[in-house]
Amino acid sequence: MFKVIGIICILIGCVGWGNMRIRQERERIRHLHTMRHILERIRTEIAYGKHTLPEICLMLTEINDICYRNCFQRISEASAANGSGLPELWKAEFQAFLKNQPLQEEERELFARLPDRLGFQEETGQAESIGRLEAFLAQKAGQAEEGCENKTKMIRSVSILTGLLLTIWLL
């Protein structure tokens, strides 16, 4: 009886680990899409609205994603209180937030260092720079989506096989 309960617990644990990994990959894709939409909004506000980054941060406090909304709220409040230092505020806020997200290091750094890419004086140069970053994130999201189905199948298979192997090994 105890062996059967142990086998069931091992299998459930391994399948649960596999589902957690699948959920992380889907969460990564969601974050990439959200970051791309944020960059698209920033690009259009710079190119067509002729807004500055502090003004755009205030506008982005109205986005749907609560986590990103809170980041932009803190950046907007801190930049209004300090009056300067937006690149440092942005970098510190997003490095802290994105550190715990299931993103690759390159993706985290690109988004956290966004204000460093805005070294151009005219809006078109800034918008083009953000557009290149937006295209890169769209490409990464596309690649992740293409590989997600195969990765999901592989992770499920490996987690089940690991559970079976542990069960056989422990019997």
Q: How confident is the model at residue 159 (pLDDT cuts 50, 70, 90)?
A: very high
For the stretch 3-40, pLDDT in tens is 889 889 999 999 999 999 999 999 999 999 999 999 99
What residue has token string 């690009």? 43
The per-type count for the chain, helices as H runs and strands as E runs, is: 6, 0
Judge residue 74's burial from the number of C-beta atoms within 10 Å of its C-beta, 0-12 exposed, 13-18 middle, 19 or more buried.
middle
Give the span between the Cα atoms of 79 and 89, in whole angstroms.
7
Q: Please choose, from the candidates 71, 37, 42, the residue with its C-alpha nearest in 3D space to the C-alpha of residue 55.
A: 42
Q: How confident is the model at residue 103 (pLDDT cuts 50, 70, 90)?
A: confident
pLDDT at 120 over 80: no
Q: What is the pLDDT of residue 123?
A: 74
Q: Tokens for 48, please give them.
A: 């067509």
Q: Please choose, from the candidates 102, 87, 107, the residue with its C-alpha nearest in 3D space to the C-alpha of residue 36.
A: 107
What residue has token string 């589902």? 19
For the stretch 51-98, pLDDT in tens is 878 888 888 888 888 888 888 888 888 877 776 677 888 888 888 888
Q: Kindly give the interhelix angle for 66-82 and 86-98, rounded to the nearest 10 degrees.
A: 150
Q: What is the pLDDT of residue 119?
A: 62
Q: Rounded to a whole number, what is the distance in angstroms from the first to the last CA of the chain?
A: 13
The whole-number average pLDDT for the span 156-161 is 92
Q: How many CB atoms lie within 10 A of CB 131?
A: 16
Q: Which residues of 12-50 are buried (b: 16+ CB within 10 A; e: fewer)?
A: eebeeebeebbeebeebbebbbbbbbbbebbbebbbeee
